[in-house]
Amino acid sequence: MNYNTIIYIAGHNGMVGSAIWRTLSAKGYVNLIGASSKELDLRNQQAVRDFIRKTKPDVIIDAAAKVGGILANNNFPYQFLMENMQIQNNLIDTAHRLGIDKFIFLGSSCIYPKLAPQPLKEEYLLTEPLEPTNEWYALAKITGVKACEALRNQFDKDFVSLMPTNLYGTHDNFDLNSSHVLPAMIRKFHEAKLNNHAVVVLWGSGTPLREFLFVDDMAAAVVFALENTLPESLYNVGSGTDLTIKELALMIQRIIEHQGEIIWDDTKPDGTPRKLMDVSKMHALGWKHQTNLEEGIKKTYSWFLDNTDKFKELKM
């Protein structure tokens, strides 16, 4: 790698992609390529091939995906399965066919079995059934991991898959119909605070354990994989620590200074009981996260407050 390397970041406008772009720019990389979904439909194989032929990147980073929480996964299983496979398959296969030897694929910790031993090791992949509430997204991501592994083994290409834990941060999705748990809580507590510290109703029992990683730390892991040749095809990326959803809620409530009651709706699903990543492989290579959870939530809430104009239906 050098600072003139041409790097295409698929999904550069999203939370993860934009963090990767910022991090690379700050390090001095000058040939970054991005295309919005209006400019390039990644589900269209021919459009992807034409774009890659025209821009001639040396490296592709796949941070593009159709994402959402439990509700979205439950309501739109076909789209989560098919569209994610279309996006990643078009990028992976085009990279292979056009002779691009460096590819970084971003997945999710949901690829691992629901009841796998904790913390989750890379070798637990495909050992037991998945969590039903997000299996469609997980199955799509598993096919991407395996495609990269197959190209690596068969053609000796530097294709690597990074599996992040639950990510959050600036440029997150705060839509209550499709957001993940942490940004959804930020919005709910913020709106309740403005509404005379109204009651906040949260899904589930609050007992599941979850791990969270600030998106800038994920971007740093991607840059680490970009600038080094990693010896294996699959790596977990996370903080290596977790807390209960209830503990997370209390932390966010404290940061936002909401003083009302929290009610847990245990008629709603909890999802996987625990999901903690074993990040020892990345640690051994030299990468480690830098942002603790409270600091990261404060940064995220600050960005949220500065960008409330982006949330048209937000009650301010």
Structural contact between residues 281 and 219, judged by C-beta atoms closer than 8 angstroms: no
Question: Strands across the sheet with 209-210, in order?
Answer: 243-244, 209-210, 274-275
Q: Is 268 annotated as a binding residue?
A: no
Q: Is 298 annotated as a binding residue?
A: no
Q: How far apart are CA 125 and CA 221, in angstroms?
A: 21
Task: Extract the tokens encoding 306.
Answer: 């500065």
Structural contact between residues 115 and 128, judged by C-beta atoms closer than 8 angstroms: yes
Residue among 96, 86, 228, 82 at smallest CA distance from 149: 96
137 in catalytic set: yes
Structural contact between residues 110 and 141, judged by C-beta atoms closer than 8 angstroms: yes
- The residue assigned the tokens 């490296």 is 59
Q: Is 170 annotated as a binding residue?
A: no
Q: Is 69 annotated as a binding residue?
A: no
Strand partners, 105: 62, 161
Residue among 227, 284, 270 at smallest CA distance from 102: 227
Sequence-ordered strand ranges (E) for 165-286 = 166-168, 200-203, 209-210, 212-214, 234-237, 243-244, 262-265, 274-275
Q: Is 165 annotated as a binding residue?
A: yes
Instruction: Indicate which residue of 137, 168, 235, 301 is catalytic.
Output: 137
Q: Is 254 annotated as a binding residue?
A: no
Task: Extract the tokens encoding 250.
Answer: 């209390």
Q: How far apart are CA 249 and CA 140, in angstroms?
A: 30
Q: Is 164 annotated as a binding residue?
A: yes
Label the pairing between strands 209-210 and 243-244: antiparallel
Q: Is 146 annotated as a binding residue?
A: no
- The residue assigned the tokens 């620590």 is 241
Q: Is 28 annotated as a binding residue?
A: no
Q: Is 14 annotated as a binding residue?
A: yes
Q: Is 197 annotated as a binding residue?
A: no
Strand partners, 9: 61
Q: Is 34 annotated as a binding residue?
A: no
Q: Is 99 annotated as a binding residue?
A: no
With residue 72 as reference, give the H or E element that holds it. helix 70-75
Q: Is 37 annotated as a binding residue?
A: no
Q: Is 167 annotated as a binding residue?
A: yes
Q: Is 210 annotated as a binding residue?
A: yes
With residue 182 as reference, give the H or E element that holds it. helix 181-194
Per the annotation, binding residues for substrate are 188, 203, 210, 270
Catalytic residue numbers? Answer: 137
Per the annotation, binding residues for NADP(+) are 11-17, 106-109, 141, 164-167, 180
Per the annotation, binding residues are 11-17, 106-109, 141, 164-167, 180, 188, 203, 210, 270
